């Protein structure tokens, strides 16, 4: 597929994800971690405008000079911006305005991409595709939160079905032997800067579960009082449980004594065989401790990943998000992409049911704060 | 006008106010004091449904049982409700859903009002009209905040013009002589419970300004360093100024060294002759102190009101919002209308340019916390 | 008694109050409203030094120039100061340092007062006495909080006994007839500026209870579920009850099913006949509402006070703390004494068992925020 | 030295550290991270009483049953406790009470230790010694904060002199070659559970500075605008700088244009040759980034430590505090010692001038949140 078609594909997929929404659903921001869908639509467009069209496209006219203020996410280099908590307070630009903005930028991009491109520009375009794919996943997670926290529990799409994953043999553990392993991206394709510098790590022998923990198994933890016994938790996790009165994964509701979960197709009885989802790192750790097991490190995960099926939910690891040996930031605004977040966050590995096709790979490093649950997160155990 | 036409009039006016809005403008809640316009549309409808149709209309079927949870404002008697800060987090019901809800209830109300009504019900219907008129004013103030705090400063209606007020003779003070005055509602028409129990108060002689303070006069206070000199302020007001870095009325913007104000028709150079608007009680007090004057009490205001023009902006008084002698709350939910707010709020008298026609009277008591500015508030001086 | 003896008396009484304390008790500040006893000792001394010795005593040398920063309470005119929440973070100056500071200032004051004094200075000295007496009362209330919130419940003085009050005839109400009453200070003695400008008010006829509500009566409110029924409460009071999980007056403890109260002589079974104490305005209002009665206004209180016994606990009124007609602030720092607090506070009338002898009078106006309870506050009812 | 003498030594050193304090200095808690010295005195005593005397000493009578509530730090297993922010609100038990408590427990311990001890008990006693040594270091850091944040800047001891460290050759870097290294405690002596499980790690070749960054070098960072340029900082660090208006290390004061630092002997001109101290991880990282270098990982540090001098300040590493392979918690309360803190903290290696003699070793892992500065923390660079 040529670069123009790739561009169109990525851009259309974003709009396809928003297709089932009502105008109002594009606007709200129920918690700070969630962005309004219309903001994602604008921000991904701003990214192409700011980092490609404005510096490289001859005579490009910015669509609206005030949009830089509205759609900049966190790039300090590029100037001031709407503070994150205010994204849901903006009724303007309207959804229609933003679709017009997208059309304007798409037009310019398609023209621009039809020319010969310098290698440096090609790299940025590829980064733009991957950036938009990341926001596609965020769109799904944010939409789920917006609808799933509405007291009316509206479905996103009554016909939505989760992709099915391979059948599981529940207690299987895979044994990996002690030795030196190579970690980090290898090859010619795209990767993010945080995957770079393939390097050696020494791993002790370990075992890792072939399957993710499922809802039935997690329910047993709840029923055994797991959320009421401090011994399973980090001190900070235990404070989080008590301050926020946490007693189950996000989107679980106990209705008339029966557990339900909110899904993209609406509120449904808990699917016991599905892998547990929407749990924080604190919960993943507590569950593992309760089982007498632990979470794998991100290095163990990468070493073992060829031997199990992954991609159902992002999997919490025990590793803090830190730079690989020799990590360096690009200069300028693009250098703000990953490096400045390498503190007090925890790595997730794998992918999830809402990850864009082709966007996942074995060396991919996702990362979130330890209390966050609105992503499609799961648990794989190690020992 | 018969009661059915009155009902239609009130209801249509609410929708007329919302007419210039985009769908997105109906949804957001930039500060806790502001409610999304769609919430006002739903809540005023819920009021008629809950307090009139459900208890009194034969065989009335509630439109949607979950709407009680969504549109109850603060009536503890009527059950649980969306917490106030969450109103702007709800994308559903959509704007269209709510207009359908309005139509359904309007239909039932028109049928119901065509019958003979008991006196008790007539009173409630009248309360419903006045309640909706209060929300009409809130709609204007909330819409102004929603648009006026958007970085794009979209106009509400480019052709909006403020009603004009009578010509002023700026330094005129009206002298009222010492004695006993009667305060509180008299007559047959509608009034709120907080105006009831006409009673005597003893007033010392005082003088009260014939005109409101205008922007030019207020600008002199700013230019004299009024916001930087603690001596003009209450201790609590001074903390408020410093914590919130307040330096001018709400909606004032200093752009390239020139003062502008956001109005319903967009951002405009400051109108020096307009009465100053969107100031807190703290600011009104500080301004009066700086002038060596004071604010009138609500009793002084009521005694003097026949002798000056009012209705341009609500006017801060020096009076705390407290019950009149013999005040009693109605039983049931309607009793929650006013009484439970009679603490730590300050009385405003008069009306504003966005008060509904026929909704104001000399005994009307409005009230807000001392730090709030998004209402159309102004300053009249006394000595 | 001459002015030198008066001075010595006042100063000695302050130290006598602190006599039973351990050094550590002088230091802590468990809540922002409480000041460490050593701060009171220093601040009252600073008051005489700053407002009398420094401006009027020839060649007076300030004891330590840094003490102005440490012991200024809220006088913006006099310069920067330790923020209020930090008072309990200061281990220095030590208690002994502060007693030396007192001795130094006392010495200078006694010399200074032995000279002929200008009328203006005499007034300030009198204000200093009354200021110190106010801090004597605060010392008692703050000491009670410091010891009463320690998990070991140490007594202040095992032999402390409350002054006894006159015998009560419980249901007596005193009837006051409608008419014009004069309110405010009259006479030659000392009064605070907030009592000045004796003026007329018009009162409807009312009845006021001869006695304060006692613990047995208040317990009936608790046992009737008074803290769990929103109908008795202001909206803001109800939020306060829920956010702070309030279920009884301050210092009440339910131990093994029996109510106890912390007193100056330690933890004791609840004294049912004592007047209820340490309740907020919100609770006083809720209790009155539950009884189908109300609190008196401060004007009703002052008009009726000659006919009942008062002085056991400060009594919450229904009146907001506002200036009397014609109130003006003194110029300079002394003008900050009262006026700048005249917003969002509620008036208490009477006095309490820990008020200094001779410090109370019928026109005295005390005032606190509506949620505060650490003062010796009580309830008198009206109808 | 026999175990009884060791016990006496450790206990006496704690009291020796407190010797220069005034009673008031023992009481206050200016920030949540600081504990009042009297709390440390009581808590270390409670540790011996709770974990040794009560379970193992025949007929031991607890000194005061309420002290468990007062002096438990964070052991959930052992019951409720004073919340951490309340430690500075307790005037009782007094300092003298606590010294009596120490004497009582010391008496019982000396008797108990004179008997034959089981191996399990010996281990606990050794843990008690090391625990008390950790609190000795905390005593120094907390005392410095208590006195250094007092506006009077009282010295702890005017004759205090920092231990001197070896002469430095400033730009020296030590090169360590690529390969497998063994990390973790080896030997028979005492170590904490977080050092256990010596294991292999693979390190790339790296260079590490022979010396710590000194004040002159750090000053250059400040003078180059290091605190005002977001590019050097983590996103979370940049927020921290802006929210807290951070512009220099803790205890630095710019007075009349000259930099000063608070030291144990009082406020002094900045010592340019001393290693920079009292900086957060955020600052250490920003400084390294500004220099175009980085911080070492804790594994690099441990591999290189035999080749440089350390012990002047605790050194921030780039490593998150995580369990070593095979880490397991002891059962019961002692298991809460370290494991539950292994999230969102960063490792420091080395020791500081206030570390107790004999308490440091090459495998020791200290850890704090990334924003904390009151410890004696420094910077060693790597590349």
Per-residue pLDDT of chain C (383 residues; tens, 9 = 90+): 899 999 999 999 999 999 999 999 999 999 999 999 999 999 999 999 999 999 999 999 999 999 999 999 888 888 888 889 999 999 999 999 999 999 999 999 999 999 999 999 999 999 999 999 999 999 999 999 999 999 999 999 999 988 777 556 567 999 999 999 999 999 989 999 999 999 999 999 999 999 999 999 999 999 999 999 999 999 999 999 999 999 999 999 999 999 999 999 999 999 999 999 999 999 999 999 999 999 999 999 999 999 999 999 999 999 999 999 999 887 777 887 888 999 999 999 999 999 999 999 999 999 999 999 999 999 999 99
- Tens-digit pLDDT profile for residues A291-348: 999 999 999 999 999 999 999 999 999 999 999 999 988 777 777 788 899 999 999 9
pLDDT for the residue numbered D82: 87
Whether D165 has a pLDDT exceeding 80, the answer reads no
- The answer to whether the Cβ–Cβ distance between A151 and B66 falls below 8 Å is yes
Q: Is residue C156 part of a domain?
A: no
Whether D168 has a pLDDT exceeding 70, the answer reads no
Q: Is residue C155 part of a domain?
A: no
Helix (H) or strand (E) holding A48: helix A37-48
Cβ of residue C151 closer than 8 Å to a chain D Cβ: yes
On whether the CB atoms of residues B333 and B340 are closer than 8 A, the answer is: no
Model confidence at B169, in pLDDT bands (50, 70, 90)?
low
User: Which of A205, A231, A338 is the best residue to mutate to test the D interface, defined by the most D CB atoms within 10 Å of its own CB?
Assistant: A231
On whether the CB atoms of residues D183 and D199 are closer than 8 A, the answer is: yes
Is the domain of A73 the same as that of A204? no
User: Which of A32, A39, A80, A91 is the best residue to mutate to test the B interface, defined by the most B CB atoms within 10 Å of its own CB?
Assistant: A91
A142 vs A303: CA distance, rounded Å: 31
pTM recorded for the entire structure: 0.96
Whether A167 has a pLDDT exceeding 70, the answer reads no
Of A29, A38, A150, the CB nearest to B92: A150
Is the domain of A129 the same as that of A182? no
Model confidence at D73, in pLDDT bands (50, 70, 90)?
confident
Is the domain of C359 the same as that of C292? yes
For chain B, give percent helix, strand, coil, nearest 5: 40, 15, 45
Is the domain of D193 the same as that of D124? no
pLDDT for the residue numbered D155: 98
Q: Is residue A267 part of a domain?
A: yes
Number of inter-chain CB pairs under 8 A, B vs C: 80
Identify which of C28, B273, C327 has the alpha carbon closest to the alpha carbon of residue D36: C28
Cβ of residue A204 closer than 8 Å to a chain D Cβ: yes
User: B108: Cβ–Cβ under 8 A, 6 or more apart, which residues?
Assistant: B49, B53, B57, B60
pLDDT for the residue numbered C168: 60
On whether the CB atoms of residues B125 and B52 are closer than 8 A, the answer is: yes
Is the domain of B197 the same as that of B68? no
Is the domain of A143 the same as that of A181? no
Mark which of A131, A148, A165 sits at the end of a domain.
A148
- With 0-12 / 13-18 / 19 or more C-beta atoms within 10 angstroms meaning exposed / middle / buried, residue C290 is middle
Is the domain of C126 the same as that of C275? no
From the CA of D351, how many Å to the nearest CA of chain A? 23
Cβ of residue C65 closer than 8 Å to a chain D Cβ: no
A219 vs A227: CA distance, rounded Å: 11
Mark which of B148, B165, B190 sits at the end of a domain.
B148
Identify which of D282, D281, D259 has the alpha carbon closest to the alpha carbon of residue D347: D281
Q: Which residues of B touch C233 (CB under 8 A)?
A: 340
A158 vs A172: CA distance, rounded Å: 35
Is the domain of A130 the same as that of A240? no
Is the domain of A287 the same as that of A324? yes
Is the domain of A297 the same as that of A344? yes
Q: Which chains touch B (3 or more CB pairs under 8 A)?
A: A, C
Cβ of residue D307 closer than 8 Å to a chain A Cβ: no
- The answer to whether the Cβ–Cβ distance between B23 and A24 falls below 8 Å is yes
Q: Is residue D167 part of a domain?
A: no
Q: Which residues of D touch A335 (CB under 8 A)?
A: 231
Where is pLDDT greater, at A336 or A127?
A127
Q: Is residue A165 part of a domain?
A: no
Q: What percent of chain D has pLDDT over 90?
A: 90
On whether the CB atoms of residues C214 and C275 are closer than 8 A, the answer is: yes
pLDDT for the residue numbered C169: 57
User: Can you tell me the ipTM of this complex?
Assistant: 0.95
Q: What is the CATH number of the domain that holds A347?
A: 3.90.1580.10
- Strands B206-209 and C199-203, how do they pair? unpaired
pLDDT for the residue numbered A81: 86
Q: Is residue D62 part of a domain?
A: yes
Is the domain of C97 the same as that of C199? no
Q: Which residues of A touch D346 (CB under 8 A)?
A: 343
pLDDT for the residue numbered D290: 97
* Torsion on CA atoms A354, A355, A357, A361, rounded to nearest 10: -150
Whether A170 has a pLDDT exceeding 80, the answer reads no
Query: From the CB coordinates, do chains D and B have 3 or more pairs under 8 Å?
Result: no
DSSP single-letter state for residue D256: T
Find tokens 């219309």 and name the residue: A38
- The answer to whether the Cβ–Cβ distance between B323 and C320 falls below 8 Å is no
pLDDT for the residue numbered A168: 60
C75 vs D382: CA distance, rounded Å: 52
DSSP letters spanning B298-318: HHHHHHHGGGS---SSEEEEE
Cβ of residue B358 closer than 8 Å to a chain C Cβ: no
Range with the poorest average pLDDT among A137-146, B234-243, C329-338: C329-338
- The tally of domains found in chain B comes to 2
Query: From the CB coordinates, do chains A and C have 3 or more pairs under 8 Å?
Result: no
pLDDT for the residue numbered C77: 82
B102 vs B90: CA distance, rounded Å: 18
Q: Residue window 308-337, chain D: list those with CB within 8 Å of chain A.
A: 318-320, 322-323, 325-326
pLDDT for the residue numbered B167: 53
Q: Is residue D138 part of a domain?
A: yes
Q: Which residues of B touch A92 (CB under 8 A)?
A: 22, 24-25, 147, 150, 152, 154
Q: What is the CATH number of the domain that holds B62?
A: 1.20.120
- The answer to whether the Cβ–Cβ distance between D27 and C29 falls below 8 Å is no
From the CA of A147, how many Å to the nearest CA of chain B? 8
Is the domain of A66 the same as that of A207? no
Cβ of residue D367 closer than 8 Å to a chain A Cβ: no
Q: Round the average pLDDT of chain D to a whole number and report it.
A: 95
pLDDT for the residue numbered C48: 97
Q: Which residues of B touch A23 (CB under 8 A)?
A: 23-24, 94-95
pLDDT for the residue numbered B1: 80
Cβ of residue A230 closer than 8 Å to a chain D Cβ: yes
Model confidence at B155, in pLDDT bands (50, 70, 90)?
very high
- Tens-digit pLDDT profile for residues A78-110: 888 888 989 999 999 999 999 999 999 999 999
Q: Residue window 23-52, chain C: list those with CB within 8 Å of chain D.
A: 23-30, 38
pLDDT for the residue numbered B27: 98
Find tokens 């260079």 and name the residue: D207
Q: Is the peptide bond before A93 cis (omega within 30 degrees of 0)?
A: yes
- The answer to whether the Cβ–Cβ distance between B26 and A28 falls below 8 Å is no
pLDDT for the residue numbered D167: 53
Q: Which domain holds residue C143?
A: 3-148
The sign of the torsion formed by the CA atoms of B135, B137, B138, B144 equals: positive
From the CA of C287, how many Å to the nearest CA of chain B? 14
- The answer to whether the Cβ–Cβ distance between C325 and B230 falls below 8 Å is no
Mark which of C80, C115, C148 sits at the end of a domain.
C148
3-state DSSP assignment of residue A382: strand
The sign of the torsion formed by the CA atoms of D124, D127, D129, D134 equals: negative
Across the range A266-283, mean pLDDT stands at 96
Q: Is residue B344 part of a domain?
A: yes
Cβ of residue B344 closer than 8 Å to a chain C Cβ: yes
* Residue D323: closest C-alpha in chain A: A318
pLDDT for the residue numbered B328: 86
Hey, what long-range contacts does A270-275 have (CB within 8 A, 24 or more apart)? A270/A215, A270/A219, A271/A215, A272/A214, A272/A215, A272/A216, A272/A219, A273/A214, A273/A215, A273/A216, A274/A162, A274/A214, A274/A215, A275/A165, A275/A211, A275/A212, A275/A213, A275/A214, A275/A215, A275/A312, A275/A313, A275/A378, A275/A379
Model confidence at B168, in pLDDT bands (50, 70, 90)?
low
On whether the CB atoms of residues A266 and A326 are closer than 8 A, the answer is: no
């Amino acid at each position: 597929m040529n670069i123009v078609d790739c561009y169109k594909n990525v851009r259309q997929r974003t709009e396809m994800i928003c297709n089932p929404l009502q105008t109002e659903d594009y606007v709200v921001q129920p918690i700070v971690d969630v962005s309004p869908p219309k903001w994602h639509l604008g921000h991904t467009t701003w990214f192409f405008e700011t980092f490609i069209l404005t510096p490289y496209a001859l005579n490009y006219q910015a669509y609206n000079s005030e949009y830089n203020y509205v759609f900049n996410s966190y790039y300090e280099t590029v100037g001031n911006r709407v503070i994150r908590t205010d994204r849901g307070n903006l009724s303007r630009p309207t959804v229609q305005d933003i679709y017009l903005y997208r059309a304007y930028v798409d037009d310019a991009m398609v023209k621009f991409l039809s020319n010969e491109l310098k290698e440096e520009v090609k790299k940025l375009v590829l980064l733009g595709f991957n950036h938009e794919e990341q926001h596609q996943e965020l769109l799904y997670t944010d939409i789920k939160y917006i609808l799933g926290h509405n007291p009316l529990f509206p479905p996103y799409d009554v016909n939505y079905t989760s992709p099915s994953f391979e059948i599981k043999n529940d207690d299987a553990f895979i044994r990996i032997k002690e030795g030196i392993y190579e970690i980090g991206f290898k090859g010619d394709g795209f990767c993010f800067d945080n995957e770079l510098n393939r390097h050696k790590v020494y791993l002790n022998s370990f075992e890792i579960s072939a399957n993710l923990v499922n809802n039935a198994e997690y329910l047993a933890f709840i029923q055994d009082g797991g959320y009421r016994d401090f011994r399973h938790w980090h001190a900070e996790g235990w404070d989080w449980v008590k301050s926020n009165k946490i007693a189950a994964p996000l989107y679980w509701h106990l209705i008339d004594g029966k557990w339900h979960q909110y899904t993209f197709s609406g509120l449904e009885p808990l699917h016991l065989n599905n892998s547990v989802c929407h749990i924080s790192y604190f919960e993943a750790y507590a569950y593992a401790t309760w089982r007498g097991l632990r979470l794998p490190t991100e290095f163990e995960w990468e070493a073992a990943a060829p031997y199990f099926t992954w991609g159902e939910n992002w999997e919490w690891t025990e590793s803090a998000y830190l730079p690989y040996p020799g990590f360096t930031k690009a200069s300028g605004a693009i250098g703000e992409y990953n490096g400045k977040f390498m503190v007090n966050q925890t790595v997730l590995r794998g992918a999830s049911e809402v990850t864009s096709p082709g966007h996942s790979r074995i060396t991919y490093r996702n990362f979130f704060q330890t209390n966050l649950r609105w992503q499609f997160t799961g648990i794989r155990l190690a020992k």
